[in-house]
Amino acid sequence: MPKVKIICPTCEKNGIIEVPDDKMKTNLRGLLAINIVEGIICSHSFIAYIDKNFVIRDYFVADFNVELPEITQFEKVQVSVPKEILNIDLIRLNITATLLTYILKSIFSKQKVVLILDQEYLYTHITNFFNYITQDTFKTDISLMTEECYKNKKKLYKDSMVFECSKIINNVNHLINSKKLFVEKIIVNKFLTENDLGFSYIVLKNEIQKAYELSKIIVDLINECKKKNETINTLKISTQLEKTYYIKINTIYLKFLIDIVESYFGAVVPSISDSFLKI
């Protein structure tokens, strides 16, 4: 069995693990996600993403036990986008799991984004990728530029989230806190570990649409309660979502939706005292 060197993203201790050939063969069109539990490398647990050449593409420290709500209306079968317009191979090779998580958080928070990338041939594919996965939902403002270009125009982007690979160059209002990106990480993990490469970006698009539509329901509910001079609370929000889509929303996902309601839609959510929302 091939051996791969693993480095803990938290403490940087390293070790060697063996990756079964049969597991990699079933993931030729995607990334193999290996769950590194406590005690294998160090005292931390995390996810390692390995490509078909047994190269580590990224690491994630996250609680993947949090479930995303399943809504059949959003599980659409959509037409694949031609490879010359949207090459998912290039996207996965050049946008790490961590970077994609940061970008999604920025989009959900209605923040402008700057990606520093010297490979200009990727610009069209990356632009098409984000335009597609946010189509008819969240509006995006993503600029791609070389490092030299950014240095020359740095002052123009002081209010933008700026990323280079997985590194945060400018974190507006301390928006990114990697310890709190529970749902964003799960969405990205679902995209990266989908074996059918041609379907993976559709999976991602559907999750983004789901977040957008559920957030809009909350916004509409807040506005309706305001007109009727009624109070709004988490129970009323959960009940409305359950009534609309026959689902139950866990507390972490509800907190994720409320963050979108406040930061993207600009709706004022009354002070909520429920301790479980203070994540």
For residues 42 and 84, the model is more confident at 42
Using the predicted structure, report yes or no on whether residue 75 has a pLDDT greater than 70: no
Name the percent of the chain lying above pLDDT 70. 87
Using the predicted structure, report yes or no on whether residue 224 has a pLDDT greater than 70: yes
For residues 113 and 9, the model is more confident at 113
| Boundaries of every domain in the chain | 3-60, 72-182, 208-277
Give pLDDT tens digits for 226-258: 899 988 888 899 899 988 888 888 989 999 999
Q: Tell me, what's the pLDDT at 31?
A: 72
Q: Tell me, what's the pLDDT at 62?
A: 66
Using the predicted structure, report yes or no on whether residue 169 has a pLDDT greater than 60: yes
Q: Tell me, what's the pLDDT at 276?
A: 41
Give pLDDT tens digits for 153-167: 999 999 999 999 889
Give pLDDT tens digits for 110-124: 999 999 999 999 999
* Nearest-10 Cα torsion for 142, 146, 148, 149: -40
Q: Tell me, what's the pLDDT at 37?
A: 85
Using the predicted structure, report yes or no on whether residue 109 has a pLDDT greater than 90: yes
Q: Tell me, what's the pLDDT at 179?
A: 85
Rounded Cα distance between 41 and 194, Å, is 26
For residues 118 and 26, the model is more confident at 118
Average pLDDT over residues 122-148: 95
- Average pLDDT value over all residues in the chain: 87
Average pLDDT over residues 147-156: 96
Average pLDDT over residues 28-56: 83
- pTM for the model: 0.86
